[in-house]
A and B are shown apart, each in its own frame.
Chain A
Amino acid sequence: MRVLSMQDEKDNGPGPQAGPIPQGRAKAVEAVVVATRKRLAAGLPRPAFGSEPADFLAVLRRGGRP
């Protein structure tokens, strides 16, 4: 296995300064987009503040009430 160098990080590293998304990563991003569209098409709610039980303490406190 080839050891990554600093140059690799410059060429392929994260962030907008790295230019176009490398081929492998582009495929992964596309897979996520396709999966997300499928989830939305299946009727799953799209993420939004207040629409999912993401706030742990809020769920905990609500869960304590009958």
Chain B
Amino acid sequence: MSGNVSPRWMPVRAYAARIAEGTMRAAEVVEEMTDAERRLRHLNAFVRHDGEAARRRAAAGGFRGALGGVVLAHKDMIYRDGRVTTCGSRLFEGVAARETATVLRRLDAAGALDLGTLHMAEFAHNSTGHNAFLGPARNPWNPAHITGGSSSGPGVAVAAGLIHGALGSDTGGSIRLPAHFCGVTGLKPTTGLVSRGGCMPLSFSLDTIGPMARSAEDVAALLAPLVGADPRDPTAEHAPAADYVAACDMPVAGLRVGLPTGFYTEGLTPDVAAALDACVRVLERLGVELRPVDLPDQDGLSAAQLVLVASEAASQHRETLFTDAPYDPQIHNRLVNGLGYSAQDYLYALRGRGAALAAHLAAIEGFDAVLTPVAPFDAPTLAETDIGGGPEAEALIQSISRFMRPANYFGVPALAFPAGFSGRGLPVGLQLVGRPFGEPTLFALASAYQRVTEHHRLMPPGV
């Protein structure tokens, strides 16, 4: 990247270093990003833009921490005390949060600026980026196409250079899908690595909070201050010590990456298949050993994930589902469907999780990671996917997220990154799925790949 690139597009660590040494002013960067947001408002990235407050905070200076002056904004379900947080729903229109999420406290302590809240699917419960209350988020590469969801706003805002990075949530692909469709990098962390304290629950067994940014190095820089135990989230009590930023420079020659066949190669468009092949060739040139790997029944695991998320989401909304609460019909139908599973269905899916993970770990014995597509296709149009709340909506959502769900069921980390473009100029991403707490290996592989490729550096037209 050239030395005179706009600070909107600078790598996080290089930018923070310029702020720390006083050769760049964060307040001016906030103003530049605020101007860009006004110009690109049709993309519908933000729910709430706090540009003036962030500019004042930036002008005050005195940043401490590794993310001093870095400009972030977050999916509108990560609470900050006193700030309206809608969770993408008319139910919470105008309702302020009464607590601050642990992840926001940690980013504040690291010196990051908070530019506001970002578009999302209502209650994080669809994978397209449509939202009847907020209107659809639009893909920066072509506004007639979807962004993917449910972390739609983070995908748009990072891709359009409106922020340096964002937090999203991933229960069944909600970070990785917008990363794929919008051409950014996003991490679904290992279950328990990042606290969910003070964030909206969708599925308490599967929810994760993770960073999205332009590159794996930026994602690693954002992840570093987030990790650690938190009494507000009992799952966030265990994390092996790791230097995620340093991991980006680890050598990758000799690492072994599995290429699953069957499930993950079915129905790929030629563009996605070509991106996967090209990535394999790049990794091979870097000395990575790639071999086929046979994974256990991914369809069955995917179904088990669906039972968990449907049952748990329905339980979260049980008290309001049959009131006159103004849900979007599609989200309401999906939540009601979750009431149809029996306790035995739910417990079978939940109890099988440990055994399934053990079988998965046995299958990938000897591999450091697994490489798969994120979705079988590039971003469909908004019109193609605006199909209301009937059974076809469920089928569409499942077709988009079918490669995503096993990683959530296993709780393992998965890093989505840009890997090319389709014939119609839309981004195509891939995901590296790791071993539990294997984020450093994923950062090493993706960073090595991104050092020799340009996909993650390209900017959408007109931004």
Contacts and interface: CB of A to CB of B under 8 A. Distances in A.
Nearest to A66: B435
- From A57, A59, A60, name the one whose CB has the most chain B CB atoms within 10 angstroms: A60
A28 to B, nearest CB: 13
B354 A64 contact: no
A61 B411 CA distance: 10
Nearest to B411: A60
Contacts of B438: 64
A59 B355 CA distance: 8
A52 B358 CA distance: 10
- From B191, B357, B410, B438, name the one whose CB has the most chain A CB atoms within 10 angstroms: B357
A56 interface: yes
A63 B353 contact: no
Interface string B356-378: 01100100000000000000000
A39 B235 CA distance: 34
Given A61-B436, A64-B190, A64-B435, A56 B238 contact: no
Contacts of B412: 60, 63
Given A57-B192, A59-B354, A64 B411 contact: no
Given A56-B411, A57-B192, A64 B240 contact: yes
Interface residues of A, number: 13
Given A64-B240, A64-B435, A64-B436, A59 B192 contact: no
Interface in A25-66: 52-61, 63-65
Contact of B353 (A52, A56, A61): A56
B185 to A, nearest CB: 22
Contacts of A61: 192, 238, 436
A55 B435 contact: no
B355 A63 contact: no
Contact of B235 (A57, A63, A64): A57
Contact of A54 (B240, B351, B436): B351
Nearest to B359: A53
Contact of A60 (B351, B355, B357): B357
B354 A56 contact: yes
A58 B358 CA distance: 10
B358 A59 contact: yes
Contacts of B191: 57, 60
A45 B240 CA distance: 32
Given A53-B357, A58-B354, A63 B192 contact: no
Contacts of A53: 354-355, 357-358
Nearest to B240: A64
Contacts of A57: 191-192, 235
A61 B435 CA distance: 10
Contacts of A56: 353-354, 357, 411
Nearest to B409: A56
Nearest to A55: B354
A61 B358 CA distance: 11
15 contacts: A53-B354, A53-B358, A54-B351, A56-B411, A57-B192, A58-B354, A59-B354, A60-B190, A60-B410, A60-B411, A61-B436, A63-B357, A64-B190, A64-B240, A65-B240
Given A54-B351, A54-B354, A64-B190, 5 more contacts: A55-B354, A56-B357, A59-B358, A60-B436, A63-B358
